[in-house]
Structure 1
Amino acid sequence: MSSTAAFYLLSTLGGYLVTSFLLLKYPTLLHQRKKQRFLSKHISHRGGAGENLENTMAAFQHPPGLPVYGIFQARTMEWIAIPFSRGVISAVTIGTDMLELDCHITKDEQVVVSHDENLKRSTGINVNISDLKYCELPPYLGKLDVSFQKACQCEGKDNRIPLLKEVFEAFPNTPINIDIKVNNNLLIKKVSELVKQYRREHITVWGNASYEIVEKCYKENSEIPILFSLQRVLLILGLFFTGLLPFVPIREQFFEIPMPSIILKLKEPHTMSRSQKFLIWLSDILLMRKALFDHLTARGIQVYIWVLNEEQEYKRAFDLGATGVMTDYPTKLKDFLHNFSE
């Protein structure tokens, strides 16, 4: 290669790197910042699966009389139980900015709030929601495992699987994050119709890890903001590490990702191979990037990290620039945010 060609190559590469870095820090020089209809820092996973039975109206409403309530003292690392004696404390009242829930559709075309299509885990009965009419759905078990908290269960008296419209009616002004759990055109259509009926396009988010489901959601109703699918998350990471991200337009408005390191606390160390631990470590290093989160936030894209249940996890997420944290323990996160802001 001649010295002239090498000079032009290095000049081009240098210009690219400088431009990429500049636009990474100041993306609004190229892209119009997305309008944010609401901001969510505190998000209740399945309504708060560590404080009430997941995806129930009790989880969303947080009624009194349950022993899980209390104050988490961040400075002393103590959890002090404080029973509520009167009134109904809503999730919003205790500090939740957004409710996260999961949807399926029944045989008689009712949209229900449930994480699992098959109800064996949650009800003890091996049956699919899509095979039953709504009135035939079995009740939840009185005690369920908290999926993202090792060796922990949650009890509750409200064991009825609710309809999505019930949640909409109970929380008309609360942003709701809907995970469309199955690739079902009718489910997507019905959810869209309900969002329109209750005029919630501006405070509803929907999607799934599946690229195909997210595409169908957007095609069905482009007025409802969408989440990044797993495929799109991986693409964003590729663009970020190659310096191309600042030049690429983004349609989605919510970057919702896991914190890979929490997998280590959910499994026994002796059951994991060295290669598995390495992959988790590598995934965490690649995904938990402050420069990436800051860039997305500057473009008006909210960054949510799930599902975090410990103070050190909350702190790490916000220190990295996440705009919101999804938790099974809304009360604990509320107390942390109170102390974190001091």
Structure 2
Amino acid sequence: MYVLSTVTGYVLTSALLLKCPLLLHRRKRETFRSRHISHRGGAGENLENTMAAFTHAVKLGTDMLELDCHLTKDEQVVVLHDSNLKRSTGHNANVSDVAYAELPPYLCRLGVTFKRECFVEGGKDKNIPLLRDVFEAFPNTPINIDIKVNDDTLIKKVSELVIEYNREHLTVWGNASDQIVRKCYKENSQIPLLFSLRRVLLLVGLFYTGLLPFVSFKEQFLEIPMPSVAFKLRDPRKMTRSERFITWLADSLLMRKALFDHLKARGIQVYVWVLNDEEDFKRAFDLGATGVMTDYPTKLKEFMEKNISSLSK
């Protein structure tokens, strides 16, 4: 009887704190809130991670730019997704082996990673920009930085640039790698953090065991994929039964309104990526996501304008 009473008390307390986490936790301070997030600046409308893409997205009114950083041979912080230049420029070389002044331009036509069989044609701007260029051009725009490699110098230099441009309140950084995220926090704890993959798994585990309301987090941003998007990126008929099951299971576990609402109540923003169709935009916002990351900023803007009444709830 005592055990049953104790378990019941724990379950009720957990349920209460899940709904009302501020009874136990102080809400994290939000210096910005982002709904409309442009992935690589909007990789479906302009060449990814270029100043043209970023400028287009900001003119549309995006709330946040998402971008990726690497370090060149001469230790310049550049905005580029891949560590190798082959896919983006046609040159088979690692960016870390090439000086910034010698970096080749982007190809005229690039595939859109999160949209099957879609390509974007480039305009005049095919240059790989410096992170400094982006900070100078968009001083008031929140920026989400993916530190692409585990490099102490890269992490240090990104932090120095954030400080130089007074952007600690307008920047979030991290990576799926827990080691990189821990190094980011050690380098500069004033820059808000993304959850690493390991910490996302911990978060989900705590949620399903009822322990989430009792645990504090240093991270301020949960950035997770919508696993069901995999069915659009690959032909489901070519996926094995186990692949389809794992995708369904991951989607069922991650896409939980109760989880999103709890985190938001604690001041932790929830971004779902990378969504490029209206039905996925709607699902993410219906689930309570703070923001949606897309390759098509124009499409997301139009969706949000059409559904402004429901999104404002």
- The normalised TM-score by structure 1 is 0.89
1:165 shift after superposition = 0.2
1:271 shift after superposition = 1.7
What does residue 180 of structure 1 align with? 147
What does residue 39 of structure 1 align with? 33
1:268 shift after superposition = 1.5
1:98 shift after superposition = 0.2
1:219 shift after superposition = 0.3
1:93 shift after superposition = 3.0
Listed one character per residue, the Cα deviations across residues 199-237 of structure 1 (whole Å, up to 9, x for unaligned) are 000000000000000000000000000000000000000
1:329 shift after superposition = 0.4
Return the alpha-carbon distance in structure 1 between the equivalents of residues 272 and 243 of structure 2: 21
Tell me the percent identity: 71
2:282 is aligned with 1:315: yes
2:255 is aligned with 1:288: yes
Which residue identity lines up with residue 259 of structure 2 in the other structure?
L
What does residue 263 of structure 1 align with? 230
> Which stretches in structure 1 are left out of the alignment for 5+ residues?
1-6, 63-90
1:156 shift after superposition = 1.1
What does residue 221 of structure 1 align with? 188
1:160 shift after superposition = 0.5
Return the alpha-carbon distance in structure 2 between the equivalents of residues 131 and 94 of structure 1: 36
Return the alpha-carbon distance in structure 2 between the equivalents of residues 309 and 269 of structure 1: 18
What does residue 137 of structure 1 align with? 103
1:127 shift after superposition = 0.3
Kept in 2: contact 1:95–1:331 (CA 8 A) = no
2:89 is aligned with 1:123: yes
Return the alpha-carbon distance in structure 2 between the equivalents of residues 56 and 106 of structure 1: 17
Return the alpha-carbon distance in structure 1 between the equivalents of residues 174 and 195 of structure 2: 7
Return the alpha-carbon distance in structure 2 between the equivalents of residues 208 and 266 of structure 1: 22
Taking only aligned residues, the RMSD between alpha carbons, in angstroms, comes to: 0.6
Which residue identity lines up with residue 263 of structure 2 in the other structure?
L
1:95 shift after superposition = 2.3
Return the alpha-carbon distance in structure 1 between the equivalents of residues 307 and 177 of structure 2: 34
Return the alpha-carbon distance in structure 1 between the equivalents of residues 233 and 223 of structure 2: 20
Kept in 2: contact 1:209–1:228 (CA 8 A) = yes
Which residue identity lines up with residue 104 of structure 1 in the other structure?
H
Return the alpha-carbon distance in structure 2 between the equivalents of residues 247 and 223 of structure 1: 24
Which residue identity lines up with residue 53 of structure 1 in the other structure?
L
Which one of 211, 236, 241 corresponds to residue 178 of structure 2? 211
> Which stretches in structure 2 are left out of the alignment for 5+ residues?
none
Return the alpha-carbon distance in structure 2 between the equivalents of residues 321 and 194 of structure 1: 33
Aligned length: 308
Return the alpha-carbon distance in structure 1 between the equivalents of residues 236 and 270 of structure 2: 30
1:92 counterpart SS class: helix
Which one of 208, 221, 225 corresponds to residue 241 of structure 1? 208
After TM superposition, the structure 1 stretch with the greater mean CA deviation from structure 2, 263-272 or 275-284, is 263-272
1:276 shift after superposition = 0.5
1:15-164 paired onto structure 2 within 5 Å: 15-62=9-56, 91-157=57-123, 158-164=125-131
2:163 is aligned with 1:196: yes
Which one of 243, 253, 272 corresponds to residue 276 of structure 1? 243
- The normalised TM-score by structure 2 is 0.98
Which residue identity lines up with residue 167 of structure 1 in the other structure?
V
1:201 counterpart SS class: coil
Return the alpha-carbon distance in structure 2 between the equivalents of residues 22 and 340 of structure 1: 32
Structure number with larger C-alpha Rg: 1
Return the alpha-carbon distance in structure 2 between the equivalents of residues 145 and 117 of structure 1: 17
